[in-house]
Every structure is written in structure tokens, then in C-alpha cells.
């Protein structure tokens, strides 16, 4: 009896286990009404759709192997508003989908472009990539997408490439070293990451369909540091688009992000200054890999250990450092640091000397990459004649996500109106291409 119960439990667990949708479902599609839809991975066994023209987006939950549903808002499943059915070709490729939205008549969406898998070499590691080519005749202007700080496989998660291809640009995404199907050790070394980007450009130049005179980069978040750095290493990178990133250092990003938590909680005046002093001391300690700055941090910790505003820093490095004893921080802290990160890397000097054309697209209310100083620096550089442009999207957070406030927190709704158009428009302008 016991063995039968165990067997039944195992079968039930197996039936409940999530399975990832096949990569063949991922890509760009065009609906009958002309709209462009990107379908890429989301968390767990779900997908996410993004509509290029409106910025509308939602999670797609599996109903069956090839049927997914989505509810209202950014992540809800119920009540079902959209149903997506993938049609399979004889070889197992999914070249079209049936798109049902509410009471409207179902539409067919057909796959845009073709995708190839390839490896390229960079500093002793084989990096896995996905080359997405448009349906129009070559040669194509091309864009390498430069990652944020996460370790999710870029070949499966990057969605902006779908909109590039729908507008006549070839796009190369790849898995960072040490992630996905790429070799090497995952790290935060900007120099190493920039060299990997240059290697990706070298690979693109070997593809016959690519116009070697029109290859550039589009960097996201951490890519705001890495993409301009890569462009400084070779003249073969003709342009850079930067999305929701910073010029100032990772240390300054960490400080400003935690300071913003205090501002959002209504902390002001002398209390805000006190909080900033503690944050600065904590960031300096972390940036030294816990080797320097202990005296200043301990002084600040003792002064402010009972401050009411300290509760707003719970869950942050400051909150942890205040609660943990010194011996435990020294023991565990170094193991949790991002490998190879130069905490004080700042792009200002590089941007002052660079002549690579750049388009910066920034979110006005970015909480992960606070950009007030970045915006001021860019205005100064543009006024000085540098070949840069700046577009700011109001009421948008990191990732160009729009939001509302619910129970004191941000609830995301979709993408900033005009963001995807602006990114493609920047590529058209920087490459001298004709809009499609």
C-alpha cells in the first residue's frame, strides 16, 4: 500500500512539473492587421508577448504544449483575454500562430525573418549566438545586443531584436560567457565583456549578408557601460544605442538606488543626509571587497543604528551590513560580490573623447539606474558638439516600463509609448537606412 502511494505521488509530481516551451516558439510575428508581436521567454514555464506598436505586454501561460493564454495587465492569467495557438510545420518549426483577443475575430500571425544558431570565439571561450535576419534582400545593417547584468541566456530572452528584424535590421544576440550555452566564467568585468562584444562584431563581419559598413550596438542597463567601451576598442563599431543605463559608476548607482528608497519613503532634510552618509560608507566598504573603510562604516553604524529611517533600507546591502556582526560580513560578504566588477568605472572620460555616434534612450523615473547626473552629463556633451542624442521617456521605470502605484509599490503595465519606435528610429538615423 505504501509503495502504491509513493508511486501515485511521484506520478502526480511529474504531471505538475513545469517544462519549458521549445525555443522554436520564440521569435517575431506579424499579425493580419499589421502589428508586430515578439514572443520570448518569461519566468518559469511561461512566455511573454510584446506588441511593438503599442507597448502592450503580458505573460503567456501554458494551457497545453502549443497553446498559451494571457489575462489583463502585465502578468495576470485570469480572466483570459488572449489565446495564442502555435502551428507546427512538418519539420517542427513554428511558422505561424493563431491570435485570439477577446471577442474579435481570430488573426493569423506569420513568423518574421529567419534565425541561425552559431558559435564564435572570444578569449578562449566559445560563445553561443542567434543571428536573426530580415525577410528583405541583403545586405543588412546589423546590431549586436549588449546584455544587462543578469545571467539569463540572451539568445532566448532578448526581445528588442525581433523589432529590429521586422524593420530590416539583422540582429545578433548571444549568451554571456558562463550563461546559457556559452563557455567561460560568468563575471562582471567590463573589459572582458567589451572584448566579447568586439568578438561578436568580428563574427558578424564574416556573415555574407551583413553590410560591414553598418554594424553597431544596442546596450541595455549594464550595457550602457559595456557598449561604449566596446566601441572605443574598434572603428568597426559604427554606432551605439544605449537604453536605460548610466554614465556614473556602479558604486554611485548603488548609492543612488538606496538613497531613492529613502526619498520614496518621505525621508528628507537632515535625516536624508544622515542616511546618505551611512549608505556612502557601506558602498565604500563593499567596493573595497571588505578590506577598507571599516572604521568609517562602524562609526556611521553606531550613530544611526536606532534611526527610524533605517527600516526603509531593509533588504538592501546597508540593511544587511547594519544587522550582521563584522566577523560574519568578512566571512560571507566577499563570496557574494559580483566577480570582476570595477565599482568605480565611470564612462564620462570615454564619452568625452569618443566620436562614435550614440543615441541614449532613458527612463525618467528609473529606480534601478537613477540618471539625473547621467542626463546632465549628456546635455553637456551634446552642447559641446559630441555626436550624441538623448530621448527621455516620462513616467517610465527601468526597462522602459510604465507603472501605476498600488499599495505603495509600483505595478508595471507595459512599455513606454513610442519607446520601440524610438529605438528603431535611432537605428534608421544612425545607419542612414530607409524606414520600413
260-280 burial: b if 16+ Cβ within 10 Å, else e:
ebbeebebeeeebebbbebbb
Specify the 3-state DSSP secondary structure of 394: coil
Mean pLDDT, residues 413-436 taken together: 93
Mean pLDDT, residues 153-159 taken together: 94
pLDDT band per the 50, 70, 90 thresholds, residue 92: low
pLDDT band per the 50, 70, 90 thresholds, residue 15: very low
What is the pLDDT, as a whole number, of residue 102? 87
Sign of torsion over alpha carbons 362, 255, 224, 112? negative
From first CA to last CA, the distance across the chain in angstroms is: 67
**Calpha distance 147→334 (Å, rounded):** 24
Mean pLDDT, residues 30-34 taken together: 96
Report the half-sphere exposure of 145 (CA within 13 A, side-chain side): 30
Which residues have CB under 8 Å from 39's CB, separation 6+? 25, 26, 27, 28, 29, 47, 48, 49, 60, 84, 97
DSSP labels, 52-72: TTT-BEEEEEEEETTEEEE-S
CATH of domain 114-248+346-431: 3.40.50.1820
Neighbours of 7 (CB within 10 A): 10
User: Which grid cell is 189?
Assistant: 568585468
Which burial class, exposed, middle or buried, applies to 44 when counting CB atoms under 10 A from its CB (0-12, 13-18, 19+)? exposed
Q: To which H or E segment does residue 55 belong?
A: none
Which residues have CB under 8 Å from 119's CB, separation 6+? 126, 127, 128, 129
What is the pLDDT, as a whole number, of residue 313? 97
219 and 146 Cβ atoms separated by less than 8 Å: yes
User: Which grid cell is 112?
Assistant: 518574421
The DSSP code for 252 is H
Which residues have CB under 8 Å from 315's CB, separation 6+? none
Give the tens place of pLDDT for each residue, 315-361: 999 999 999 999 999 999 999 999 999 999 999 999 999 999 999 99
**Calpha distance 339→335 (Å, rounded):** 9
Give the tens place of pLDDT for each residue, 361-375: 999 999 999 999 999
pLDDT band per the 50, 70, 90 thresholds, residue 435: low
What is the pLDDT, as a whole number, of residue 5? 38
Mean pLDDT, residues 378-391 taken together: 98
Which residues have CB under 8 Å from 383's CB, separation 6+? none
Mean pLDDT, residues 156-173 taken together: 97
Mean pLDDT, residues 163-176 taken together: 98
What is the pLDDT, as a whole number, of residue 89? 52
Mean pLDDT, residues 244-248 taken together: 98
Instruction: For 20-111, give the CATH class.
Output: mainly beta
Q: Is the pTM value of this prediction over 0.85?
A: yes
144 and 236 Cβ atoms separated by less than 8 Å: no
Mean pLDDT, residues 163-188 taken together: 97
pLDDT at 90 exceeding the cut of 80: no
Residues of the chain with CATH 3.40.50.1820: 114-248+346-431
Mean pLDDT, residues 36-62 taken together: 96
**Calpha distance 412→53 (Å, rounded):** 18
**Calpha distance 106→100 (Å, rounded):** 5
pLDDT at 9 exceeding the cut of 60: no
User: Which grid cell is 384?
Assistant: 559641446
Mean pLDDT, residues 9-26 taken together: 58
**Calpha distance 247→249 (Å, rounded):** 7
Q: In what order do the strands lie in the sheet with 409-415?
A: 396-397, 401-406, 409-415
Neighbours of 1 (CB within 10 A): 5
- Give pairs for 188-191: CB < 8 Å, separation 24+: 188/149, 188/222, 188/338, 188/339, 188/340, 188/341, 189/339, 189/340, 189/341, 189/342, 190/225, 190/226, 190/229, 190/341, 190/342, 190/345, 191/229
Residues of the chain with CATH 2.40.128.50: 20-111
351 and 247 Cβ atoms separated by less than 8 Å: yes
Short-list 345, 130, 316, CA closest to 222: 345
Short-list 128, 140, 146, 199, CA closest to 165: 140
**Calpha distance 328→67 (Å, rounded):** 49
Specify the 3-state DSSP secondary structure of 353: helix
Length of the chain counted residue by residue = 436
Q: What is the CA radius of gyration of the chain?
A: 24
The DSSP code for 103 is T
Question: Across the chain, what does the average pLDDT equal?
Answer: 93
pLDDT band per the 50, 70, 90 thresholds, residue 398: very high
Give the tens place of pLDDT for each residue, 295-312: 999 999 999 999 999 999
Amino acid at each position: 500500500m505504501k509503495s502504491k502511494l509513493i508511486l501515485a505521488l511521484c506520478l502526480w509530481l511529474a504531471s505538475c512539473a513545469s517544462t519549458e516551451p521549445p525555443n522554436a516558439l520564440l521569435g517575431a510575428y506579424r499579425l493580419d492587421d499589421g502589428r508586430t508581436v515578439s514572443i520570448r521567454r518569461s519566468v518559469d514555464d511561461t512566455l511573454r508577448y510584446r506588441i511593438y506598436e503599442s507597448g502592450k505586454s503580458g505573460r503567456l501561460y501554458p494551457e497545453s504544449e502549443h497553446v498559451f493564454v494571457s489575462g489583463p495587465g502585465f502578468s495576470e492569467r485570469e480572466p483570459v483575454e488572449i489565446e495564442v495557438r502555435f502551428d507546427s510545420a512538418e519539420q517542427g518549426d513554428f511558422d505561424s500562430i493563431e491570435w485570439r483577443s477577446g471577442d474579435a475575430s481570430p488573426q493569423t500571425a506569420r513568423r518574421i525573418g529567419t534565425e541561425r544558431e552559431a558559435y564564435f570565439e572570444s578569449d578562449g571561450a566559445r560563445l553561443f549566438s542567434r543571428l536573426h535576419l530580415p525577410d528583405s534582400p541583403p545586405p543588412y545593417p546589423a546590431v549586436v545586443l549588449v546584455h544587462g547584468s543578469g545571467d539569463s541566456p540572451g539568445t532566448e530572452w532578448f526581445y528588442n531584436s525581433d523589432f529590429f528584424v521586422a524593420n530590416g535590421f539583422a540582429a545578433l544576440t548571444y549568451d554571456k560567457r558562463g550563461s546559457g550555452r556559452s563557455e567561460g566564467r560568468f563575471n562582471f568585468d567590463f573589459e572582458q565583456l567589451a572584448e566579447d562584444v568586439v568578438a561578436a562584431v568580428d563574427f558578424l563581419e564574416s556573415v555574407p549578408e551583413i553590410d560591414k559598413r553598418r554594424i553597431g550596438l544596442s546596450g541595455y542597463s549594464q550595457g550602457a557601460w559595456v557598449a561604449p567601451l566596446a566601441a572605443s576598442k574598434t572603428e568597426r563599431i559604427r554606432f551605439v544605442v544605449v537604453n536605460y543605463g548610466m554614465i556614473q559608476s556602479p558604486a554611485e548607482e548603488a548609492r543612488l538606488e538606496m538613497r531613492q528608497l529613502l526619498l520614496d519613503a518621505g525621508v528628507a532634510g537632515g535625516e536624508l543626509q544622515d542616511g546618505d552618509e551611512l549608505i556612502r560608507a557601506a558602498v565604500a566598504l563593499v567596493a573595497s571587497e571588505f578590506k577598507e573603510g571599516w572604521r568609517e562604516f562602524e562609526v556611521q553604524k553606531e550613530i544611526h543604528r536606532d534611526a527610524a529611517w533605517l527600516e526603509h533600507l531593509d533588504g538592501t546591502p546597508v540593511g544587511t551590513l547594519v544587522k550582521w556582526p563584522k566577523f560574519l560580513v568578512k566571512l560571507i560578504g566577499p563570496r557574494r560580490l559580483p566577480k570582476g566588477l570595477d565599482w568605480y568605472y565611470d564612462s564620462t572620460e570615454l564619452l568625452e573623447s569618443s566620436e562614435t555616434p550614440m543615441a541614449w534612450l532613458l527612463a525618467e523615473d528609473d529606480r534601478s539606474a537613477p540618471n539625473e547626473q547621467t542626463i546632465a552629463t549628456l546635455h553637456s556633451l551634446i552642447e559641446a558638439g559630441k555626436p550624441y542624442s538623448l530621448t527621455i521617456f516620462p513616467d517610465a521605470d527601468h526597462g522602459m516600463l510604465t507603472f501605476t502605484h498600488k499599495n505603495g509599490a509600483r505595478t508595471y503595465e507595459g512599455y513606454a509609448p513610442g519607446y520601440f519606435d524610438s529605438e528603431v528610429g535611432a537605428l534608421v538615423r544612425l545607419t542612414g537606412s530607409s524606414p520600413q
